[in-house]
Structures are given as structure tokens and as C-alpha cells.
Amino acid sequence: MIEHVSADVTGDHVPDQIWLTGYKQDPNSPYITGISIAIKDGATSQLYQIKPHENSGYNPRLFLGDFTGNGTVDILLTIDSGGSGAITFDYLYSFVQGKPRLLFSSEVYNDYWKYKVSYLDGYRLQLTNSNTEQVYTLDITSRGKDYLNGIYNPDGTLKAPTEGWVDPLSGLYPVDFDQDGVYELMAFQGVSGLYHADRFGYVQNVLKYQNNEWSLQNQWFAIYGAPIPKS
């Protein structure tokens, strides 16, 4: 057992028991396989098991909160992939009346949100989101001469078309922005340039569950700062 919590997830006002379970094939490694969620209905003592699509990784954890506004808590499972991109596997389940329902999965999210990262003439980087048709443009002169000289001609034009990328989901956080007891999801996706460590910042999407689907409330391109140039 990794974690145990008690909460009403069936909506009958009787506390249920929720266990997060998994296995270590190597006792000296933090890597966990066979991750699943077990639920014992507090009213009927019936047992249920939920197996996520991706069920191996690091630091699996649960968060319980109401994401739909029906007054019953839902179950958010997060698993770290452990890769260089800090990708997470995330699943949100409703369990009202003992019926497991997948409300959110990182696989569906990653398939849906589409981005393009392009270097532009004039030492600029452009992030385009085709879902919202929004464009974000960033001055990258702070990257320094050595970095820029590998991409640009002396006149600031590109030597060749160059693109970066946006990682899959790199973090999913429950946040109650409205302070109404119903949580939104705040999703982070890393934005990189020439290589993974060439990170510019994160796309941040705030999603709210409305009318049985997730709607985008806000989107930002949050960038890293740069040192003030010395005179």
C-alpha cells in the first residue's frame, strides 16, 4: 500500500475507503509498477479496483476534491514518469454511485492540445496554439551571442528554418481559483528550443469542468527571466 484515505466518493454521505497500491520490483529503487486504486464502499463493503492506463512510474499520489460541482469528491491520481521532460501521467476519476468514470486523462489531453514552436527572424521565438489560434512571441536575445550565432545570420535572419517543441503534460495541479469549493485543473507543459535543457518556460492552461466537458478558462506562456545586462 502506498496511500490510504477515507472520504465519500460514492455520494451517499457514508465515508468510503480508498487505497493507492503498487509494487516495487527492486526494493532499492523508487520505481513502482502495477499502480492501481482500490475502493471499499462504506455502505455496502463492496470492493472496486481502478487500473490506470499508465500504471508504472515514480511518486504516485492521490488528491481528493470536487471537480464537477456535484458536491462529491473525485479522485485525482498523478504519477511521475521520471524522464528528462518531467512528464506526468494524470487521471481523474468520479465514483458516484459506485460507477467509476474517467473525467480526465493525460493521454487525451496531450492528443488534444496542439502547439508549434518556431524561431523567427529578428531573434524571436513564436509559440502558436492551434486550438485557440493564439500566438505568443518572445524576444530571445538574452540567450547570448554564441547561442544566437548558431541559428542566425549577422543580419538577424535565420540560417535555416528552426523549430522547438512543447512537451506533453509536465504537471497537473488542482486549484480552486473561484474559492467556491470546486477545483479547476492547472496544466503545465514545458516549452523547449534546440534541446530539452533549452527550456524557455511553460504553457499553463486552466481547465474547468462544465457541461460534462473541460473548458479552457485561461492560458498563459510563462517564461523564465534573464539576468539584467551589466553596463
What pLDDT is recorded for position 75? 98
What pLDDT is recorded for position 85? 65
In angstroms, what is the C-alpha Rg of the chain?
A: 21
What pLDDT is recorded for position 90? 98
pLDDT confidence band for 26 (50 / 70 / 90):
confident
CA distances from 169 to 33, 85, 97, 211, 231 (A): 20, 9, 30, 24, 40
Element (H, E) at 64: strand 58-65
Q: What is the pLDDT of residues 135-171, one digit of tens each?
A: 999 999 999 999 999 999 999 999 999 999 999 999 9
Enumerate long-range contacts of 39-43, CB under 8 Å, 24 or more apart: 39/9, 39/95, 40/16, 41/10, 41/14, 41/16, 41/98, 42/8, 42/10, 42/12, 42/14, 42/15, 42/16, 42/17, 43/10, 43/12, 43/14
Average pLDDT over residues 79-94: 89
Average pLDDT over residues 100-118: 97
Q: What is the pLDDT of residues 166-193, one digit of tens each?
A: 999 999 999 999 999 999 999 999 999 9
Q: Comparing C-alpha atoms, which of 21, 192, 11 is closest to residue 100?
A: 11
What pLDDT is recorded for position 126? 98
% the chain with pLDDT above 90 = 90
Walk me through the domains of the chain, giving residue ranges and CATH numbers: 1-105 (2.40.128.460), 113-231 (no CATH)
Q: Comparing C-alpha atoms, which of 211, 193, 212, 202 is closest to residue 113?
A: 202
Average pLDDT over residues 203-225: 95
- Average the pLDDT over each of 46-50, 51-55, 81-85, 139-143 and give the range with the smallest value: 81-85
Average pLDDT over residues 209-214: 94
Dihedral sign for Cα 152, 155, 161, 164, please.
Answer: positive
CA distances from 65 to 50, 69, 94, 95, 212 (A): 17, 10, 10, 12, 17
Flag whether pLDDT at 84 surpasses 70: no
Q: What is the mean pLDDT of the chain?
A: 94
Average pLDDT over residues 95-122: 96
Average pLDDT over residues 70-99: 91
User: Cα(24)–Cα(58) distance, rounded to whole angstroms?
Assistant: 10
What pLDDT is recorded for position 195? 94
pLDDT confidence band for 231 (50 / 70 / 90):
low
What pLDDT is recorded for position 21? 97
